[in-house]
Each structure stands twice: as C-alpha cells, then as structure tokens.
Amino acid sequence: MLRTVKSVYKLRLVQFVYAFYLEINRNNKYLHVEIIKFNIKLFKVMKKIFSILISFLIGAFFLFACDSDKTVENMVLQEPKEEKPIINEMRTWKEQLEYSKKKFGIENLKKRDAENLDVFLYDYTYGGIIETESELHKIKNNLFAENALSVWSNENGELDFLTIGEIKANCVKEGMQVFPDSAQKWFNNRIKLGMEYINVKWYYKGEFYKSIAVAEKDGSIVYDPIGYYLPGEIIFSDKPIVGTIVPRIMKKSEPNNPFEQRFEKNGYATNRIGVNICDFSFKCISSFHRNGILKKIDMDAKYHSGILWNADAQIRTVSGAIDESKHHTFTWACAVASSIPTGVSFSLTFSEFKFTVTGGEMAEEGTETHRVD
C-alpha cells in the first residue's frame, strides 16, 4: 500500500514538471532548463520528507502495538471501578431506634419464630440534654450502678435480665471477664455533658424492661446497657466487587501473560440498636496464564471489632491448584459474638472445605469461583 501511494505521488509530480516544461519551452529555452533543475531538486526534497513521514508512522504504530521489554504486570491495567467501603447510613439515635423497631419489632420476630420471641424494642421517649454535673452523675448511675439492669446468658443459653451486681458475681464465680467493669471503664469517659439521653422500653417473654440510651447531640447512640449487647445483623454492599482485570496491551510473543479476576466484599455488623460493632472486608485476586491455567492466588480477610464484641473473618481456597487447574474456588465467612458469656467459646474454624461457627450470634458466608473461559 505504501509503495502504491509513493508511485502515484511520483507520477503526479513528473506530470506536473513535464507540463510546465512544455509551456515554457515556447518562450524561453534557457529559463525552462533552470526551472526543470529546480523542480528536480524539489522532487528529491519532497521524496525525503515523504519517506521520513512514512517511517515515523510505521514506528509509532509498532511502538503502541507492543512493548517487547515489559511484562503485563508492569502495563496499565483496566481494573473494575472499586466501590468505597459501605458506611452505616443511620446517622442519628432516632434513625437507629426506628431501625431496631422495624427490623426487630414484634411483627418481624413473629415471622421468624412465633413461639420463641427474641428481645425487641417496644418503644422509646426522648429524655433531654445532659446539662448539669448532677444530671450526668444520675445518668451514669443508671448505666453502671450495681442495681442497674443489663443482660446475661444463663446456663441454658437463654437470655436473662439481671442487675449489674448479679452479673459481676456470676462472672467472678465462673472465672470470666467481668464485662460490666470493662464497659464502665470504656464508656464512662465517653459520656459527657451536652449529650442526649433516651428512655427505652424493651419487651421479653411477657415482661417489660427499661434502660437509658446515651447519644451524641443530634448524633448516634454511644451506649445502652441492654441494646448494646444484643445482636443485630450483618450488612454487606448490594454489589460486591466481582470483575475482571484485562491487560490493555498483550504481546503475542509472551506465553505467560496473566488474566486476573477479582472479588471484593465489604460489610459491617450492627447490634440491636443500630450501632456498628464490627466491620469486615474480603479480597481474592486469581491470576491465570493465557492458556487458562491458574498462576497465582492473592487472598485476604480483615475485620475490626468494637469494645465488648468479638469477631473473626477468614477466606480459604476450596479447590484449584496453581499451574494445574483452570479454576479457583474459594469460600469466605465472618462471625460476631458479644462478650456476654454463653457457655460456649467463640470460634470460626475451617475444616473439610467448609466453615463452622461456634458461640457466634451472627454469621455470614459465601462461595465464589474464578476461571477464564
């Protein structure tokens, strides 16, 4: 194609020079000789410029088409757009308590188990702003005093409402962490003047129980001696990051260009009053050779639990061997448990290609497969 373009250009230029020559030949035989010499020189210059331009275009084409010195790992990859970690959208104590009433109200609990109703928030009323030191002392006394009410799990694993004093005695008797002392030590300094308090009414097995929730002014709940220890739910992003990372440039001469698939999932856990008590994140990147054989696995699970809550998160390979298999199947799981003694130690274990949770009050798991088809 390039030769054809050059030939046409050359022919047109010769035709122009010859026509010009015929025209001036009639008038001045000396002048036309000089003009012909000039046009020949011009033709040579144009030919060189044209050749340089063609060479530049060809070089640029091959430069962008491939790069023989770079591996795919060093190239720019078009990765799927990552979602930001999801955040609890309940910004105020009212949103949190309304969430509790709707999510764990009596109607929803009846749908789950009509005979064994769990603890649920029956109602709440706004108390006011903590404006004086005497009010602050009274609120803290209602939260942490020996006769203040909280929750405990009995020997049958059932929930009981006991005083702080009774719970402390049970913890000492069973050689467990005295979690009411830990709660007082942690939250006592966080509850300050200017915060708001709310009177909360709970219902359980035909009885009503009262507590006081303390919240940031126009903000979220800091502590409630009952609702803080009750499990809520684990919430994940609606759209986990499941995508493919495709190299923008791949060399035909490179036999081991990887083809990567990514899985990412972020979430958090709430207690019964909508307070975040744990967050999770999972990641798995499976890299494949160009022939579809599994090349590399990069997996990671992270978690962070709040005060007086335990958590765990893991991700494990179920099947798929590096340099052998054409797939990678993996499973992930997370679990949460409060510090209320249940008689069973909290653990998340992986055995026989599946997870087992013991002593956990909330748990989620899933399985995914990466492959190149």
pLDDT tens across 130-158, in order?
999 999 999 999 999 999 999 988 767 67
Q: Are 200 and 143 in contact (CB under 8 A)?
A: no
Q: Residue 67 carries which DSSP code?
A: -
Q: Look at residue 175 in the predicted model and tell me its pLDDT.
A: 82
Give me the DSSP letters along 319-350. E--TTT-SEEEEEEEEEEEESS--SS--EEEE
Place of tokens 């991700």: 315
Structure tokens at 25: 């030949």
Dist CA 99 CA 83 (whole Å): 25
- Tell me, rounded to whole angstroms, the distance of Cα 206 from its chain centroid: 41
Dist CA 171 CA 175 (whole Å): 6
Dist CA 183 CA 225 (whole Å): 9
Identify which has the larger pLDDT, 36 or 209: 209
Helix, strand, or coil (residue 105): coil
Dist CA 148 CA 163 (whole Å): 5
The residue ranges of every structural domain in the chain are 2-65, 72-86+235-371, 93-231
Contacts of 98 (CB under 8 A, 6+ apart): none
Q: Is the pLDDT of residue 281 over 90?
A: yes
The model's pLDDT over 10-24, given as tens digits with 9 standing for 90+, comes to 555 555 555 555 555
231: left (phi over 0), alpha (psi -120 to 50) or beta: beta
- Summarize the confidence of residues 110-125 as an average pLDDT: 71
Consecutive H or E run containing 25: helix 2-25
Contacts of 326 (CB under 8 A, 6+ apart): 288, 292, 293, 294, 371, 372
The model's pLDDT over 46-92, given as tens digits with 9 standing for 90+, comes to 666 666 766 666 655 544 444 433 333 332 333 333 334 444 567 89
Q: Look at residue 69 in the predicted model and tell me its pLDDT.
A: 36
Q: Is the pLDDT of residue 113 over 80?
A: no
